[in-house]
Structure 1
Amino acid sequence: PSFQPQQGKLSLTDELHWADGFIIVYDISDRASFAFAKALLYRIRESHTGVCKKMVESSIFLVGNKQDLCHMREVGWDEGQKLAIDNKCQFCELSAAEHYQEVVAMFTKVLRNITSNFKVKEKRRPSGSKSMAKLINNVFGKRRKSV
């Protein structure tokens, strides 16, 4: 999804609510992109209140790109790491231009986390109302012949 700043606010689409994972990329040589990434993290957290936090946390990745431009760095590695820790998300720095393997590894990790979250969802027990309905059906659903 594309997010565009409008008058100091973020215009977010419905994808924010149904997305299974997020990869937020900023340019280490551009402090404004880091500030935008920070705002996106905040909005994602805000929109996922009430959702299982562990699942959301494991499926958000903060990525500092353009590691090959270290001589132009405006955002330190430690700043990215701190932002990730503060927002309980994964963090890495890479150079998409020079090392495509790092990009592949990062996407693989994202997909693994998302699929493991689906497995956790599948293993969850039914809600209380479903369990109660099943119990009532078991007790009253089958009629026995009275003697």
Structure 2
Amino acid sequence: RKVRLSQARGRRQPVLILFTLALALTVRFLTRRFIGEYGDIESIYSHNISVDGREQTLNIWDSPYSQQDLSSESITYEKRVQWADGFVLVYSICDRASFNNVGKLLQSIKATKDYAGLEKLPVVIVGNKRDLHHRRTVLSEDGRLLALSADCQFYEVSAAENYHSVLMVFHGLVNRIRESRSAVKKPAGIKGIVKSMSAVFARRRTDSL
């Protein structure tokens, strides 16, 4: 079901933004069907999913990627990134350029969003077209290393052949979003408490002088 951007953000539900060759993955997830040919269509969908026994509504902004998006002057791109709570970055294992673009997008997202203090980013990197392994130009190890370097999760799937693997991508991202939110809400811990107490006593000593 398509929704308006203002409605999607207002519900305060976890949202996703998908870049680079992602539409086939989105349609497979939403409908369980695979359609081979797509145009560059930007759409927002709402979809319910159950992850670990908990119902979750996802608002999915499926957005084609262009080099212009990475421009520091691209207000539209920044709006997309700020809108999203989580990201699925998709490349084709048969297209090295699309893999390189995912690397650029990843760096741009990290520069735009404030992820300070998070051990795991709410980002998953997906290598699609696993069924075309005979045409592979991007090794699985390349994808894993890119994800590892940025503390992201990595999947290799075939949207054409396997619905379950596509579903696991979205389950993984929902868990990442939940973990990132929990990390933000966690108390400071013993180190944070000690640091806060030290600051309080330091202020008291200063005031008494």
Q: CA deviation at 1:22?
A: 0.6
- 2:115 is equivalent to residue 51 of structure 1: yes
Aligned partner (choices 142, 165, 172) of residue 102 of structure 1: 165
Letter in 2 for 1:39: K
Q: CA deviation at 1:9?
A: 4.3
Q: What TM-score, normalized by structure 2, do the two folds share?
A: 0.53
Aligned partner (choices 11, 15, 20) of residue 85 of structure 2: 20
1:88–1:119 distance in 2 versus 1, CA, 3 Å? closer
Hey, which of these two has a bigger chunk of helix by percent? 1
Q: Tell me, what secondary structure is at the counterpart of 2:154?
A: strand
- 2:71 is equivalent to residue 6 of structure 1: no
Aligned partner (choices 113, 116, 128) of residue 65 of structure 1: 128
CA distance in 1, matches of 2:169, 2:179: 15
- 2:140 is equivalent to residue 77 of structure 1: yes
Number of residue pairs matched?
Answer: 127
Letter in 1 for 2:116: C
CA distance in 1, matches of 2:116, 2:70: 29
Identity rate of aligned residues, in percent?
36
CA distance in 1, matches of 2:147, 2:96: 16
Correspondence for 1:30: 95
Q: CA deviation at 1:28?
A: 0.3
- Equivalences for residues 124-143 of structure 1 within 5 A: 124=187
Hey, which of these two has a bigger chunk of strand by percent? 2
Q: CA deviation at 1:7?
A: 9.2
Q: CA deviation at 1:15?
A: 2.0
Letter in 2 for 1:35: N
**Structure 1 unpaired stretches of 5+:** 126-147
CA distance in 1, matches of 2:150, 2:82: 18
Q: CA deviation at 1:29?
A: 0.3
Q: What TM-score, normalized by structure 1, do the two folds share?
A: 0.73
Moved over 4 A (4+): 7-11
Letter in 2 for 1:23: V
